[in-house]
Amino acid sequence: MTLLPQEVIARKRDGETLTAGEIAGFIAGLTDGGVNDAQAAAFAMAVYFRNMDIDERIALTLAMRDSGRVLDWSGLDGPTIDKHSTGGVGDNVSLMLAPILAACGAYVPMISGRGLGHTGGTLDKFDSIPGYTTNPDIDTLRRVVRQVGCAIIGQTDDLAPADRRLYAIRDVTATVENISLITASILSKKLAAGLDALILDVKTGSGAFMKTLADSVGLAESLTAVANGAGLTTRALITDMNEPLASAAGNWLEVKNAIDFLTGARRDPRLEEVTLALSGQGLALAGMASDADAGHAQARAALDSGKAAEKFFAMARALGATHDLARYAPDPAPIVRDVFPEASGHIRAIDTRGVGMAVVVLGGGRVNPGDSIDYHVGFDRLAGLGHRVDPHTPIARLHARDAASADAAEARLRKAYAIGEPHAARPVLYQYIAPQGDL
Protein backbone atom coordinates (compact mmCIF):
# COMPACT_ATOMS: atom_id res chain seq x y z
CA MET A 1 0.00 0.00 0.00
CA THR A 2 1.37 3.40 -1.01
CA LEU A 3 1.40 5.87 1.87
CA LEU A 4 0.19 9.42 1.43
CA PRO A 5 2.85 12.14 1.95
CA GLN A 6 1.34 13.10 5.30
CA GLU A 7 1.54 9.47 6.46
CA VAL A 8 5.25 9.30 5.62
CA ILE A 9 5.78 12.58 7.51
CA ALA A 10 3.86 11.27 10.53
CA ARG A 11 5.88 8.04 10.64
CA LYS A 12 9.17 9.95 10.69
CA ARG A 13 7.76 12.54 13.12
CA ASP A 14 6.97 9.69 15.52
CA GLY A 15 10.50 8.29 15.27
CA GLU A 16 9.71 5.30 13.06
CA THR A 17 12.10 3.93 10.44
CA LEU A 18 10.95 4.57 6.89
CA THR A 19 11.25 1.87 4.25
CA ALA A 20 13.08 2.40 0.98
CA GLY A 21 9.74 2.31 -0.82
CA GLU A 22 8.21 4.95 1.41
CA ILE A 23 11.19 7.25 0.91
CA ALA A 24 11.22 6.64 -2.85
CA GLY A 25 7.51 7.42 -3.07
CA PHE A 26 7.88 10.67 -1.15
CA ILE A 27 10.84 11.83 -3.28
CA ALA A 28 8.95 10.92 -6.46
CA GLY A 29 6.16 13.17 -5.25
CA LEU A 30 8.69 15.90 -4.56
CA THR A 31 9.83 15.62 -8.18
CA ASP A 32 6.46 15.38 -9.95
CA GLY A 33 4.58 17.84 -7.76
CA GLY A 34 2.62 15.31 -5.74
CA VAL A 35 4.29 16.65 -2.59
CA ASN A 36 3.77 20.35 -1.88
CA ASP A 37 6.23 22.76 -0.26
CA ALA A 38 4.55 22.55 3.15
CA GLN A 39 4.82 18.76 3.14
CA ALA A 40 8.44 18.88 2.01
CA ALA A 41 9.23 21.33 4.82
CA ALA A 42 7.47 19.12 7.37
CA PHE A 43 9.40 16.10 6.14
CA ALA A 44 12.71 17.96 6.44
CA MET A 45 11.83 19.11 9.96
CA ALA A 46 10.83 15.58 10.99
CA VAL A 47 14.14 14.23 9.72
CA TYR A 48 15.98 17.13 11.39
CA PHE A 49 14.64 16.12 14.81
CA ARG A 50 14.36 12.32 14.37
CA ASN A 51 17.29 11.76 12.00
CA MET A 52 17.70 8.69 9.78
CA ASP A 53 19.67 5.48 10.13
CA ILE A 54 22.21 4.46 7.47
CA ASP A 55 19.73 2.39 5.47
CA GLU A 56 17.29 5.31 5.35
CA ARG A 57 20.08 7.66 4.29
CA ILE A 58 21.08 5.30 1.48
CA ALA A 59 17.45 5.05 0.35
CA LEU A 60 17.04 8.84 0.41
CA THR A 61 20.28 9.34 -1.52
CA LEU A 62 19.33 6.80 -4.20
CA ALA A 63 15.81 8.20 -4.52
CA MET A 64 17.16 11.72 -5.06
CA ARG A 65 19.76 10.40 -7.53
CA ASP A 66 17.03 8.63 -9.48
CA SER A 67 14.80 11.73 -9.57
CA GLY A 68 16.66 12.78 -12.72
CA ARG A 69 19.26 11.68 -15.20
CA VAL A 70 22.21 9.45 -14.22
CA LEU A 71 25.27 9.85 -16.43
CA ASP A 72 26.94 6.85 -18.03
CA TRP A 73 30.66 7.07 -18.83
CA SER A 74 31.10 3.58 -20.24
CA GLY A 75 33.53 3.53 -23.13
CA LEU A 76 36.16 5.75 -21.53
CA ASP A 77 39.65 4.29 -21.28
CA GLY A 78 40.04 5.29 -17.63
CA PRO A 79 38.02 5.63 -14.44
CA THR A 80 35.84 8.60 -13.52
CA ILE A 81 36.91 10.22 -10.25
CA ASP A 82 35.60 13.23 -8.37
CA LYS A 83 36.21 15.05 -5.12
CA HIS A 84 33.89 16.95 -2.81
CA SER A 85 34.82 19.44 -0.10
CA THR A 86 32.51 20.50 2.71
CA GLY A 87 33.80 24.03 2.14
CA GLY A 88 35.88 26.68 3.79
CA VAL A 89 37.90 29.82 3.13
CA GLY A 90 40.65 29.84 0.51
CA ASP A 91 39.68 26.29 -0.46
CA ASN A 92 40.47 26.23 -4.18
CA VAL A 93 41.70 22.62 -4.21
CA SER A 94 39.27 21.56 -6.97
CA LEU A 95 40.94 23.91 -9.44
CA MET A 96 44.19 21.97 -9.14
CA LEU A 97 42.93 18.49 -8.29
CA ALA A 98 40.74 17.97 -11.38
CA PRO A 99 43.52 18.75 -13.89
CA ILE A 100 46.06 16.76 -11.84
CA LEU A 101 43.85 13.66 -11.96
CA ALA A 102 43.16 14.23 -15.67
CA ALA A 103 46.90 14.50 -16.34
CA CYS A 104 47.28 11.09 -14.65
CA GLY A 105 44.78 9.51 -17.06
CA ALA A 106 41.58 9.76 -15.03
CA TYR A 107 38.36 11.47 -16.12
CA VAL A 108 36.85 14.09 -13.81
CA PRO A 109 33.24 15.23 -14.41
CA MET A 110 33.13 17.57 -11.41
CA ILE A 111 29.70 18.93 -10.44
CA SER A 112 30.33 21.92 -8.16
CA GLY A 113 28.31 24.54 -6.32
CA ARG A 114 28.24 28.23 -5.50
CA GLY A 115 29.21 29.87 -2.24
CA LEU A 116 26.83 30.90 0.50
CA GLY A 117 27.70 32.59 3.77
CA HIS A 118 31.39 32.63 4.62
CA THR A 119 32.42 29.76 2.32
CA GLY A 120 33.56 30.32 -1.24
CA GLY A 121 32.01 28.39 -4.13
CA THR A 122 33.98 26.68 -6.88
CA LEU A 123 31.54 27.85 -9.57
CA ASP A 124 31.91 31.47 -8.47
CA LYS A 125 35.65 31.17 -8.98
CA PHE A 126 35.14 29.94 -12.55
CA ASP A 127 32.55 32.65 -13.19
CA SER A 128 35.39 35.14 -12.69
CA ILE A 129 37.01 33.77 -15.87
CA PRO A 130 35.66 35.68 -18.91
CA GLY A 131 33.68 33.40 -21.21
CA TYR A 132 33.89 30.25 -19.06
CA THR A 133 30.54 28.42 -19.15
CA THR A 134 29.71 26.98 -15.74
CA ASN A 135 26.31 25.60 -16.81
CA PRO A 136 26.78 23.84 -20.15
CA ASP A 137 24.43 21.18 -21.46
CA ILE A 138 25.14 17.50 -20.89
CA ASP A 139 26.48 17.00 -24.41
CA THR A 140 29.09 19.71 -23.84
CA LEU A 141 30.03 18.18 -20.50
CA ARG A 142 30.51 14.79 -22.18
CA ARG A 143 32.59 16.26 -25.00
CA VAL A 144 34.91 18.23 -22.73
CA VAL A 145 35.44 15.32 -20.31
CA ARG A 146 36.25 12.96 -23.19
CA GLN A 147 38.54 15.39 -24.99
CA VAL A 148 40.31 17.10 -22.09
CA GLY A 149 39.83 14.68 -19.20
CA CYS A 150 38.12 17.09 -16.80
CA ALA A 151 35.26 19.58 -16.69
CA ILE A 152 34.21 21.61 -13.67
CA ILE A 153 30.61 22.77 -14.03
CA GLY A 154 27.42 23.39 -12.05
CA GLN A 155 24.51 21.06 -11.42
CA THR A 156 22.38 20.75 -14.55
CA ASP A 157 18.59 20.86 -14.35
CA ASP A 158 18.21 17.14 -14.99
CA LEU A 159 20.72 15.88 -12.39
CA ALA A 160 19.10 15.13 -9.00
CA PRO A 161 16.28 17.71 -9.36
CA ALA A 162 14.65 16.50 -6.13
CA ASP A 163 17.74 17.60 -4.21
CA ARG A 164 17.55 21.08 -5.71
CA ARG A 165 13.94 21.50 -4.60
CA LEU A 166 14.43 20.00 -1.15
CA TYR A 167 17.57 22.06 -0.48
CA ALA A 168 15.80 25.29 -1.40
CA ILE A 169 13.09 24.43 1.13
CA ARG A 170 15.62 23.42 3.80
CA ASP A 171 17.47 26.68 3.27
CA VAL A 172 14.43 28.75 4.31
CA THR A 173 13.15 26.45 7.05
CA ALA A 174 16.30 26.14 9.24
CA THR A 175 16.77 22.45 8.41
CA VAL A 176 20.11 22.57 6.58
CA GLU A 177 22.23 21.41 9.53
CA ASN A 178 21.30 17.73 9.68
CA ILE A 179 23.78 14.98 8.81
CA SER A 180 21.17 12.73 7.17
CA LEU A 181 19.95 15.49 4.85
CA ILE A 182 23.46 16.84 4.20
CA THR A 183 24.67 13.35 3.30
CA ALA A 184 21.87 12.69 0.82
CA SER A 185 22.19 16.15 -0.73
CA ILE A 186 25.92 15.84 -1.36
CA LEU A 187 25.93 12.26 -2.56
CA SER A 188 22.83 12.27 -4.75
CA LYS A 189 24.56 14.67 -7.16
CA LYS A 190 27.81 12.69 -7.10
CA LEU A 191 25.98 9.42 -7.75
CA ALA A 192 24.07 11.06 -10.60
CA ALA A 193 27.42 12.00 -12.17
CA GLY A 194 28.12 8.30 -12.78
CA LEU A 195 31.43 8.13 -10.90
CA ASP A 196 33.71 5.16 -10.30
CA ALA A 197 35.36 6.70 -7.22
CA LEU A 198 34.90 9.68 -4.93
CA ILE A 199 37.31 11.26 -2.47
CA LEU A 200 35.90 13.55 0.22
CA ASP A 201 37.57 16.49 1.95
CA VAL A 202 35.72 17.07 5.22
CA LYS A 203 36.90 20.25 6.90
CA THR A 204 37.16 20.88 10.63
CA GLY A 205 37.88 24.06 12.58
CA SER A 206 36.91 27.71 12.84
CA GLY A 207 36.15 28.12 9.13
CA ALA A 208 34.44 24.78 8.61
CA PHE A 209 30.77 23.81 8.53
CA MET A 210 31.64 21.31 11.27
CA LYS A 211 33.65 23.14 13.91
CA THR A 212 34.79 20.18 16.04
CA LEU A 213 36.79 17.15 15.01
CA ALA A 214 34.15 14.82 16.44
CA ASP A 215 31.40 16.41 14.32
CA SER A 216 33.60 16.31 11.22
CA VAL A 217 34.37 12.64 11.77
CA GLY A 218 30.64 11.96 12.22
CA LEU A 219 29.85 13.59 8.88
CA ALA A 220 32.73 11.82 7.13
CA GLU A 221 31.60 8.45 8.49
CA SER A 222 28.04 9.08 7.32
CA LEU A 223 29.20 10.11 3.85
CA THR A 224 31.52 7.16 3.37
CA ALA A 225 29.04 4.62 4.73
CA VAL A 226 26.18 5.90 2.56
CA ALA A 227 28.26 6.35 -0.60
CA ASN A 228 29.72 2.87 -0.40
CA GLY A 229 26.33 1.45 0.56
CA ALA A 230 24.93 3.05 -2.58
CA GLY A 231 27.65 1.50 -4.72
CA LEU A 232 30.15 4.36 -5.04
CA THR A 233 33.68 3.61 -3.82
CA THR A 234 34.43 6.46 -1.44
CA ARG A 235 36.94 7.49 1.22
CA ALA A 236 37.40 10.73 3.18
CA LEU A 237 40.15 12.88 4.63
CA ILE A 238 39.56 15.20 7.59
CA THR A 239 41.54 18.40 6.94
CA ASP A 240 42.16 21.58 8.89
CA MET A 241 40.20 24.80 8.39
CA ASN A 242 41.49 26.77 11.39
CA GLU A 243 43.12 29.15 8.91
CA PRO A 244 42.50 29.87 5.21
CA LEU A 245 43.87 27.01 3.13
CA ALA A 246 45.27 29.23 0.38
CA SER A 247 46.88 32.61 0.93
CA ALA A 248 44.02 34.13 -1.10
CA ALA A 249 40.30 34.45 -0.38
CA GLY A 250 38.08 35.88 -3.12
CA ASN A 251 37.05 34.48 -6.47
CA TRP A 252 39.51 35.72 -9.09
CA LEU A 253 42.26 35.96 -6.47
CA GLU A 254 41.82 32.23 -5.77
CA VAL A 255 41.87 31.44 -9.50
CA LYS A 256 45.14 33.37 -9.82
CA ASN A 257 46.46 31.49 -6.80
CA ALA A 258 45.52 28.19 -8.50
CA ILE A 259 47.20 29.19 -11.77
CA ASP A 260 50.37 30.11 -9.86
CA PHE A 261 50.15 26.73 -8.10
CA LEU A 262 49.74 24.76 -11.34
CA THR A 263 52.49 26.61 -13.19
CA GLY A 264 54.89 26.47 -10.26
CA ALA A 265 55.10 30.22 -9.81
CA ARG A 266 54.03 29.86 -6.16
CA ARG A 267 52.54 27.09 -4.06
CA ASP A 268 51.14 27.57 -0.55
CA PRO A 269 52.57 24.65 1.49
CA ARG A 270 49.35 23.66 3.29
CA LEU A 271 47.36 23.87 0.08
CA GLU A 272 49.93 21.70 -1.67
CA GLU A 273 49.79 19.09 1.09
CA VAL A 274 46.01 18.78 0.94
CA THR A 275 45.80 18.81 -2.86
CA LEU A 276 48.40 16.07 -3.33
CA ALA A 277 47.03 13.96 -0.46
CA LEU A 278 43.52 14.01 -1.95
CA SER A 279 44.88 13.36 -5.45
CA GLY A 280 46.91 10.40 -4.24
CA GLN A 281 43.97 8.91 -2.37
CA GLY A 282 41.73 9.38 -5.40
CA LEU A 283 44.15 7.62 -7.76
CA ALA A 284 44.55 4.71 -5.35
CA LEU A 285 40.81 4.49 -4.81
CA ALA A 286 40.19 4.22 -8.56
CA GLY A 287 42.85 1.53 -8.99
CA MET A 288 45.26 3.81 -10.86
CA ALA A 289 47.92 3.52 -8.15
CA SER A 290 48.92 0.67 -5.87
CA ASP A 291 48.38 2.81 -2.78
CA ALA A 292 48.01 6.43 -1.71
CA ASP A 293 51.78 6.99 -1.59
CA ALA A 294 52.16 5.81 -5.18
CA GLY A 295 49.20 7.99 -6.15
CA HIS A 296 50.82 10.95 -4.42
CA ALA A 297 53.98 10.41 -6.48
CA GLN A 298 51.96 10.26 -9.71
CA ALA A 299 50.12 13.45 -8.80
CA ARG A 300 53.39 15.19 -7.96
CA ALA A 301 54.86 14.19 -11.33
CA ALA A 302 51.78 15.43 -13.21
CA LEU A 303 52.01 18.75 -11.38
CA ASP A 304 55.75 19.31 -11.66
CA SER A 305 55.87 18.31 -15.34
CA GLY A 306 53.39 21.03 -16.28
CA LYS A 307 50.86 18.49 -17.62
CA ALA A 308 48.28 19.45 -14.98
CA ALA A 309 48.56 23.13 -15.92
CA GLU A 310 48.05 22.18 -19.59
CA LYS A 311 44.86 20.31 -18.64
CA PHE A 312 43.54 23.30 -16.69
CA PHE A 313 44.09 25.71 -19.57
CA ALA A 314 42.63 23.22 -22.07
CA MET A 315 39.52 22.76 -19.90
CA ALA A 316 39.04 26.52 -19.64
CA ARG A 317 39.34 26.94 -23.42
CA ALA A 318 36.96 24.04 -24.09
CA LEU A 319 34.35 25.62 -21.80
CA GLY A 320 34.54 29.00 -23.48
CA ALA A 321 37.29 31.01 -21.77
CA THR A 322 38.11 33.93 -24.03
CA HIS A 323 41.57 34.75 -22.66
CA ASP A 324 44.90 32.98 -22.37
CA LEU A 325 44.76 32.39 -18.62
CA ALA A 326 48.51 31.90 -18.38
CA ARG A 327 48.85 35.61 -19.20
CA TYR A 328 45.45 37.07 -18.30
CA ALA A 329 45.56 39.98 -15.86
CA PRO A 330 42.18 41.69 -15.32
CA ASP A 331 41.95 45.28 -14.20
CA PRO A 332 42.52 45.36 -10.43
CA ALA A 333 39.88 46.44 -7.96
CA PRO A 334 39.85 50.24 -7.46
CA ILE A 335 41.31 49.94 -3.95
CA VAL A 336 44.30 47.70 -3.28
CA ARG A 337 46.11 48.17 0.01
CA ASP A 338 47.87 46.29 2.79
CA VAL A 339 46.17 45.50 6.09
CA PHE A 340 48.44 45.91 9.11
CA PRO A 341 47.85 44.55 12.63
CA GLU A 342 47.63 46.90 15.57
CA ALA A 343 50.11 44.86 17.65
CA SER A 344 53.39 43.03 17.15
CA GLY A 345 53.84 39.31 17.65
CA HIS A 346 52.99 35.97 16.12
CA ILE A 347 49.62 34.99 14.71
CA ARG A 348 48.36 32.57 17.35
CA ALA A 349 44.77 32.07 16.15
CA ILE A 350 42.56 32.95 13.18
CA ASP A 351 38.79 33.15 13.16
CA THR A 352 38.61 31.73 9.64
CA ARG A 353 34.87 32.26 9.38
CA GLY A 354 35.55 35.92 10.18
CA VAL A 355 37.98 36.10 7.25
CA GLY A 356 35.30 34.64 4.98
CA MET A 357 32.72 37.14 6.21
CA ALA A 358 35.17 39.97 5.53
CA VAL A 359 35.18 38.80 1.89
CA VAL A 360 31.36 38.88 1.95
CA VAL A 361 31.44 42.46 3.27
CA LEU A 362 33.63 43.37 0.29
CA GLY A 363 30.96 41.97 -2.02
CA GLY A 364 32.82 38.77 -2.84
CA GLY A 365 30.29 36.40 -1.28
CA ARG A 366 26.57 35.91 -0.72
CA VAL A 367 24.25 36.31 2.23
CA ASN A 368 21.25 35.07 0.22
CA PRO A 369 21.37 32.56 -2.68
CA GLY A 370 20.29 35.12 -5.29
CA ASP A 371 22.84 37.80 -4.34
CA SER A 372 25.22 39.03 -7.05
CA ILE A 373 28.91 39.06 -6.24
CA ASP A 374 32.01 41.01 -7.19
CA TYR A 375 34.57 38.56 -8.58
CA HIS A 376 37.65 40.74 -8.12
CA VAL A 377 37.48 41.71 -4.45
CA GLY A 378 38.97 39.81 -1.51
CA PHE A 379 42.35 39.27 0.08
CA ASP A 380 45.67 37.84 -1.01
CA ARG A 381 49.01 37.49 0.75
CA LEU A 382 47.09 36.26 3.80
CA ALA A 383 49.48 35.50 6.65
CA GLY A 384 49.09 32.11 8.29
CA LEU A 385 49.30 30.82 11.84
CA GLY A 386 52.71 31.31 13.42
CA HIS A 387 53.79 34.15 11.13
CA ARG A 388 55.34 37.15 12.85
CA VAL A 389 53.66 40.46 12.07
CA ASP A 390 53.81 44.05 13.31
CA PRO A 391 52.38 47.46 12.40
CA HIS A 392 54.80 47.51 9.45
CA THR A 393 54.35 43.85 8.37
CA PRO A 394 50.91 43.22 6.87
CA ILE A 395 48.56 40.33 7.59
CA ALA A 396 47.03 40.61 4.11
CA ARG A 397 46.53 42.70 1.01
CA LEU A 398 42.96 43.91 0.51
CA HIS A 399 41.18 44.33 -2.85
CA ALA A 400 38.00 46.44 -2.62
CA ARG A 401 35.47 48.24 -4.80
CA ASP A 402 34.96 51.28 -2.53
CA ALA A 403 36.29 52.90 0.62
CA ALA A 404 33.32 51.98 2.84
CA SER A 405 33.52 48.25 2.16
CA ALA A 406 37.32 48.37 2.38
CA ASP A 407 37.24 49.94 5.83
CA ALA A 408 34.57 47.52 7.10
CA ALA A 409 36.38 44.47 5.76
CA GLU A 410 39.72 45.66 7.12
CA ALA A 411 38.22 45.99 10.60
CA ARG A 412 36.76 42.49 10.37
CA LEU A 413 40.05 41.00 9.19
CA ARG A 414 42.01 42.58 12.05
CA LYS A 415 39.44 41.23 14.51
CA ALA A 416 39.79 37.74 13.00
CA TYR A 417 43.54 37.66 13.68
CA ALA A 418 44.77 37.09 17.24
CA ILE A 419 48.34 38.27 17.79
CA GLY A 420 50.49 37.01 20.66
CA GLU A 421 52.98 34.33 21.55
CA PRO A 422 53.92 31.65 18.98
CA HIS A 423 51.46 28.77 18.75
CA ALA A 424 52.39 25.13 18.20
CA ALA A 425 52.11 24.15 14.53
CA ARG A 426 48.77 22.57 13.65
CA PRO A 427 48.57 19.64 11.22
CA VAL A 428 46.62 20.15 8.01
CA LEU A 429 45.74 16.44 7.59
CA TYR A 430 43.95 14.96 10.59
CA GLN A 431 42.40 11.63 9.80
CA TYR A 432 41.60 9.16 7.05
CA ILE A 433 38.08 7.76 7.10
CA ALA A 434 37.15 4.50 5.40
CA PRO A 435 33.91 2.51 5.78
CA GLN A 436 33.72 0.23 8.79
CA GLY A 437 35.59 -2.99 8.08
CA ASP A 438 37.92 -1.29 5.57
CA LEU A 439 40.18 0.63 7.90
- Active-site residue 256, yes or no? no
Kindly name the residue from 31, 61, 85, 183 that is annotated as catalytic.
85
- Active-site residue 122, yes or no? yes
Q: What's the per-residue H, E or C state across the chain?
A: CCCCHHHHHHHHHCCCCCCHHHHHHHHHHHHHCCCCHHHHHHHHHHHHHHCCCHHHHHHHHHHHHCCCCCCCCCCCCCCEEEEEECCCCCCCHHHHHHHHHHHCCCEEEEEECCCECCECCHHHHHHCCCCCCCCCCHHHHHHHHHHHCEEEEECCCCCCHHHHHHHHHHHCCCCCCCHHHHHHHHHHHHHHCCCCEEEEEEEECCCCCCCCHHHHHHHHHHHHHHHHHCCCEEEEEEEECCCCCCCCECHHHHHHHHHHHHHCCCCCHHHHHHHHHHHHHHHHHCCCCCCHHHHHHHHHHHHHCCHHHHHHHHHHHHCCCCCCCCCCCCCCCCEEEEECCCCCEEEEEECHHHHHHHHHHHCCCCCCCCCCCCCCCEEECCCCCCCEEECCECCEEEEECCHHHHHHHHHHHHHHEEEECCCCCCCCEEEEECCCCCC
Kindly name the residue from 118, 125, 164, 189 that is annotated as catalytic.
189
Kindly name the residue from 190, 256, 311, 376 that is annotated as catalytic.
190
Kindly name the residue from 61, 80, 86, 122 that is annotated as catalytic.
122
Kindly name the residue from 94, 180, 183, 185 that is annotated as catalytic.
185
- Active-site residue 82, yes or no? yes
Kindly name the residue from 57, 65, 84, 203 that is annotated as catalytic.
84
- Active-site residue 12, yes or no? no
- Active-site residue 415, yes or no? no
C-alpha 229/C-alpha 159 separation (Å) is 20
- Active-site residue 222, yes or no? no
- Active-site residue 164, yes or no? no
Kindly name the residue from 170, 311, 366, 412 that is annotated as catalytic.
170
The residues annotated with a catalytic role in the active site are: 82-85, 122, 170, 185, 189-190
